[in-house]
Chain A
Amino acid sequence: MSNALSLAWRTLVRRPRRLLLFIAGVTVAAAVLIDMVMLAEGLQRSLSDLLEETGYQVRVVPKGTLPFETEAAILHSTRVAAAFSADPRIADVVPLWGRTIYASSPGAEAVATFGYGAPAGTAPTLRLRVGRTLERLGEVVINRDLAERFRLSPGDSLLVGLEPDPAVGALRSRRVVRVSGVADFMFAAAGSATLALTLEDLWALAGTTSEPAALLMIRVAADANPYAVARELRGRDTSVDVYAIPEIIEAAGDRLTYFQQLSLVLGTVSLGVAFLLVTTLLTLSVNERWGEVAALRALGVTRGRMLAQVAWQGLMISAAGTVAGIAAGLIIARYLDGILTSFPGLPVNLSFFVLDRNDALLAIGLLVVTGLLAGLYPAWRAASVNIAAVLREEIE
């Protein structure tokens, strides 16, 4: 085995420039495959990770919508949440609402922001950076974009209100709030100004008394099954949709099937390219060494050993291309992710390209098997050489 391996390696490196070119080709194919594997379910995995990070396993939304997708709302959400909370399998219910509000600072122009409303003391979709979360009325948590724009830090004041009155230019329903903290908003779009107020403050600002919520987030008790809770709540209130996180991911996946189709097609093409590159190189190599192959067989090298030698070469090329391809694929994925997640409206914390260990192993396995299969034809040619005919033709 080691002899065939050593011979395979030394035969391959006889033409180093050509070998490097072919490995570069396999590297590109491997990089595309890795990226396609990452893309196929990357968005769903990323969304799943974000949803899980909140610690709330069930979402209740107005019938036929996804969270914050439309302006539809669950009315009287405090009462609804209290009713849900009575269920012993439910540990906590957090209503969330959101709408566009304006923020301004002395001497600065008002900017439109997305304002989340959450009950005081809760911050399920925030990653606090500085200060503390909302604890009482009149407080606000702002994101880093807003903090930088108005040069704000915890303890500073901020003017918030509804859209400016066109006649006087001042914000309507304006009030002064105090910044309690600066946070990253997990579902905020890149570059967007975002803030969180208490639900009561947001409802008051909007002038609504119907206590609307775009979403109820439910944390189930430790011993409860989120699926069972979701199914039970669905049956209890037909005006809402209730999802456990995997069901949200599945619903999102239905809308993202084109990513999977694109990945499947491009991934298959990349495997085909890798296959053809390896087969071409090895067939060329065997053809060039035809006399040498016949002589080796004459000297007593078995068909199996000949086959193994060429098959090893296929594996070596695909292994080298796979290693380089993974590195290239990760770099390309990072670059493409930067482009795709900068699209307006997309949560900045989502990723399109997520590397899952099992999928990565699958891609590596596919590339190695492709290398092995690609080596089979030239290996078979080398193993089945007609020794006498080749030696005869060589001297004729």
Chain B
Amino acid sequence: MKSVVAEARALHRTYMRGDTPVRAIRGIDITIQAADYVAILGPSGCGKSTLLNLLGGIDIPTAGSVRLLGHDTRELSDRRLTRLRLEKVGFVFQRFHLLPALSAAENVELPMAEAGLPRPRRRARAEDLLDYVGLSHRVDHRPGQLSGGEMQRVAIARALANKPALILADEPTGELDQDTGAEIGELFLRLNRDGTTLVIVTHDTSLARPATVVHRMRDGALQTEAKP
């Protein structure tokens, strides 16, 4: 039986947009098991990103609970939650969020430096990860010198830096053209086949096609489409 990486029970999240309460998540139950490739599909504003943020411990539920690697995210201090994210969760953002002042390798090294890995070891691992995502020839390039697809590959390498138990990707192909998006999709598939647990929020059905579990979201609620 596969271990549970993250699970949410009776999850609710309401936030304020100006004076208006927005009920982004309405009673979701979800379980992410090790080595799953979970795709969450749905129209804009249906609460996909909010769900991802809750699962990753960067947002706290209004009601219900999220257990991330056995820890209830509401019960952890900000410091411990930050440490849990650093060591066990990798994030891939739609807009990459690479630091423009750092090279590709230095961006990948960043979470390892934060975790206290010695410089020679993190440099070697950053180069290995960049090689893994097909960017061994771009190690010392800065984000401004990279294409969108290359930046997203660097972001994926950065997400893998501390050997996380879970990678959460929010619209990872949202800023890319179709061909580049397909390449990123293949990279995610390879990651999953190598044992990485993935949760991807996307509009891109091609990213959802290889998923082991596909969830469709509508108005903050989840409809599960199990796949073999």
* Residues of A bordering B, CB below 8 Å: 3, 7, 10-11, 13-14, 291-292, 295-303, 305, 387-389, 391-392, 394-396
Contact call A388/B58, Cβ cutoff below 8 A: yes
Contact call A302/B82, Cβ cutoff below 8 A: yes
Residue in A3, A7, A291, A295 whose Cβ sees the most chain B Cβ within 10 Å: A295
Question: How many A-B residue contacts, CB cutoff 8 Å?
Answer: 81
Say yes or no: A300-B49 contact (C-beta < 8 A), given A3-B113, A10-B101.
no
Q: Give the secondary structure class of B's interface.
A: mixed
Q: Which residues of A contact B45 (CB under 8 A)?
A: 396
B110 at the interface (CB under 8 A from A): yes
Complex Cα spacing A297 to B171, Å: 19
Contact call B50/A395, Cβ cutoff below 8 A: no
Q: Which residues of B contact A292 (CB under 8 A)?
A: 97, 99
**8 A Cβ contacts from B143-157 to A:** none
Say yes or no: A10-B102 contact (C-beta < 8 A), given A299-B86, A299-B91, A388-B59.
yes
Fill in one digit per residue for B108-138: 1 if any A CB lies within 8 Å of its CB, else 0: 0011011100000000000000000000000
Complex Cα spacing A59 to B83, Å: 72
B195 at the interface (CB under 8 A from A): no
* Residues of B bordering A, CB below 8 Å: 15, 45, 49-50, 53, 56, 58-59, 78-79, 82-83, 85-87, 89, 91, 93-95, 97, 99-102, 110-111, 113-115, 158, 162, 170-171, 174
Residue in A closest to B93 when the chains form the complex, CB atoms: A295
Contact call B85/A391, Cβ cutoff below 8 A: no
Contact call B114/A300, Cβ cutoff below 8 A: yes
Contact call A395/B171, Cβ cutoff below 8 A: yes
CB distance from B44 to the nearest CB of A (A): 8
27 contacts between A and B (CB under 8 A): A3-B114, A7-B99, A7-B101, A10-B102, A11-B101, A14-B100, A291-B97, A295-B97, A296-B97, A296-B110, A297-B82, A298-B85, A300-B86, A300-B89, A300-B111, A300-B162, A301-B114, A302-B83, A305-B114, A387-B59, A388-B59, A389-B15, A391-B170, A392-B53, A395-B49, A395-B95, A395-B174
Say yes or no: A13-B101 contact (C-beta < 8 A), given A295-B91, A299-B110.
yes
Q: Which residues of A contact B78 (CB under 8 A)?
A: 303
